[in-house]
Amino acid sequence: MLSMTMHVVQVLGAWEFRVTVTRSLGAGFEPEVLTGSSSLPLTGLEWDADDLSAVLSAVARWSGLTIDGATLNRLD
């Protein structure tokens, strides 16, 4: 089983992401835990949006950047 926990915090005009990914292979196996963090500046739309829309926009941008980076890393 694979699970991810993400904490998104707005700090001084930027989003801070803290992510924990846990991979469990079942009973008798120690789970693998990976952590990471990154930050993105807020966009103009996120400044003016309601809280939920702003966070979802930031997560979508972060996800796109993360997927692009993972694709580039696999090609190296």
Give pTM, 2 decimals. 0.73
| Domain range list for the chain | 2-75
Q: How far is it, in rounded angstroms, from Cα 22 to Cα 57?
A: 24
Q: How far is it, in rounded angstroms, from Cα 42 to Cα 62?
A: 11
Question: Facing residues of 41 across strands?
Answer: 14
Task: From first to last of the 76 residues of the chain, give the pLDDT tens digit.
Answer: 999 999 999 998 999 999 999 999 888 899 999 898 888 999 988 888 899 999 999 999 988 877 666 544 444 4
| 49 Cβ contact partners less than 8 Å away, ≥ 6 residues apart | 57
Q: How far is it, in rounded angstroms, from Cα 26 to Cα 46?
A: 40
